[in-house]
Amino acid sequence: MSLEPLFNVGIAIQIHAVAATLSFFLGPFILFRKKGDVRHKILGRLWAFTMAVTIASSFFIFGIRTFGLFGPIHIISVLASYSLVRAIHFARIGNIVAHQKNMRGLYFGALIVAGLFTFLPSRIMSEVFFNGHELSGFLIVMAGVVFVYGALGFARYRGWIRADVV
């Protein structure tokens, strides 16, 4: 692992990488612990802020241009913006079920799914984590995703977790 590739890119990508990483690691502490208490609200606001920074900074990344200045990341960014705003709105009006669904969807879609694309060969995060072995790194990440889905499915099947928890 080498942070060197991150030092050789623009500030928007650096901000995006830091905010997304913070969001990725902070998310499980919110998603998998008791809901509604003061700690949840504080961590939730912090997570919403780091996600807002992640989303905002993504609009200044122009690496893959499919539609003029914009690319696939910007479609995800628009959807993530909408989801974050809806999730906050639902929390404020007391629709906790909708709030939870939007937050889970945002975490999974914007951080897990979109995050996997950053590990494709020749992408910056692939170079950071798997310098010189990008394809192997992507295969390891994909195997991890398959394992997590399998473990979640098995846990649901056995009744260890409820289907609405994850």
Question: Tell me: the pLDDT tens digits for 122-148?
Answer: 788 888 888 878 788 788 878 878 887
Q: Would the pLDDT of 66 be above 70?
A: no
CB 69 within 8 A of CB 62: yes
Diameter of the chain measured on Cα atoms: 49
Task: Indicate the average pLDDT of the chain.
Answer: 86
| Residue 163 lies inside a defined structural domain of this protein | no
**Domain range spanning residue 39?**
4-158
The two tokens of residue 43 are 């961590």
Residue pLDDT, tens place only, 17-47: 999 999 999 999 898 888 888 999 999 999 9
| Residue 164 lies inside a defined structural domain of this protein | no
Residue 5 has what pLDDT? Answer: 79
| Residue 116 lies inside a defined structural domain of this protein | yes
| Residue 95 lies inside a defined structural domain of this protein | yes
Number of domains in the chain: 1
More confident site: 69 or 26: 26
Helix (H, G, I), strand (E, B) or coil at 2: coil
Q: Would the pLDDT of 120 be above 70?
A: yes
| Residue 112 lies inside a defined structural domain of this protein | yes
